[in-house]
Amino acid sequence: MCKRPTSTVPVGLVLSGQGVDTSLSEPGLQQAEAAGLYLRELSFSNVFVSNLQRARQKSLRNDVHSSGVEMVFDPLLRERSFGIAEGRPKEDLKNMANRAGQSCRDYTPPGGETLEQVRLRCKKFLKSLYQRMVDDHGCSGQSSTAVGRGAGAAESGTDGPLPGLPDNGMEGVPLHALVVSHGAYICVAVRHFVEDLQCSLPQGLKMSKVLSACPNTGISRFVLIVSGSGLALSAVRCVFTNRKDHLTSRNICYITH
């Protein structure tokens, strides 16, 4: 991470996961502040944040607490555990995966979480999100929530990219939740939306873009339609993914971890 015009990229990045609960670096704090400025005009019905320190710092820097909405710090949103690879250079994880004959994304280090375990955590979180929002806002019958998380694209029915406005896709959506999590977890969550829940995608958006790694403080928006007393999910729509307008507009470089 760096501020322009500096182009030097830090080497020897350490894998944090869950076990290395460090605070944000100065560039990380700048990115969080930029995201907060970008989202400052939005009204959130609920805010859910990973209970790891770096996610808590991001949410506070976003100034979402100033809106009077209670932040729920949820361990279900913690980053994927990378077991014995945590606290070591990321290159070590790649080497472990190579020796095992697997891709880095699919490889599970000893003591770490499998992708399926992270997916199950995500599914459990979504159920708790539905219930919390219904309890807090007294919804009945059908309710919908827009889950804000990370980055940008084109809206369904348009011929090209959206202009990058913070409220894209919010028209007619009664409840809006902000969810703050981590890169590997977000990748698993988006795959769950697309592969398991058959999420509808913006016109012209390539799958490689949807499933690409989320940049630091990237923003995505999905509209979830939940109906009935059993809170059944009836539809999921992707508005945009991996948006980083807030970084480019302030000349802040980013690195995907």
Structure confidence at residue 93 (pLDDT): 93
- Indicate whether 94 belongs to any domain: yes
**Residue 7 placed within a domain:** no
pLDDT at residue 13, as a whole number = 75
Cα dihedral sign, 197-35-71-182: positive
> What values do phi and psi take at 225, rounded to 5?
-100, 115
Q: How many domains, in total, are found in the chain?
A: 1
Structure tokens at 108: 């599970």
Residue 6 belongs to a domain: no
Tell me, what amino acid is at 224?
Answer: L
pLDDT at 119: 97
- pLDDT above 80: residue 29: yes
Q: Does residue 15 form part of some domain? A: no
Amino acid of residue 158: T
pLDDT at residue number 11 = 39
Domain containing residue 89: CATH number: 3.40.50.1240
Mean pLDDT of the chain: 79
Q: What is the CA radius of gyration of the chain?
A: 18
Is residue 253 over pLDDT 70? no
Range of the domain at 37: 26-248
Q: Tell whether 132 is covered by a domain.
A: yes
**pLDDT digits over 154-173, tens only?**
233 333 345 678 899 988 88
Q: Is residue 172 part of a domain?
A: yes
pLDDT tens string 36-46: 888 888 889 99
46-89, pLDDT tens digit by residue? 999 999 888 877 666 555 544 678 889 999 999 999 999 998 99
pLDDT per position as a tens digit, 203-252: 888 888 888 888 888 899 999 998 877 788 889 999 999 888 888 765 55
Q: Which helix (H) or strand (E) holds 223?
A: strand 219-227
* 256 pLDDT higher than 90: no
Kindly state whether residue 4 falls inside one of the protein's structural domains. Answer: no
pTM of this prediction exceeds 0.85: no
Task: With respect to residue 17, please indicate whether it lies within any of the assigned structural domains.
Answer: no
Tell whether omega for the bond before 109 is within 30 degrees of 0, i.e. cis. Answer: no
Give the pLDDT confidence of 109-164 residue by residue, as tens digits.
999 999 999 999 999 999 999 999 988 987 644 444 444 443 322 233 333 345 67
Reduced to 3 states (helix: H, G, I; strand: E, B; else coil), residue 188 is helix
**In the predicted model, is pLDDT for residue 9 greater than 50?**
no
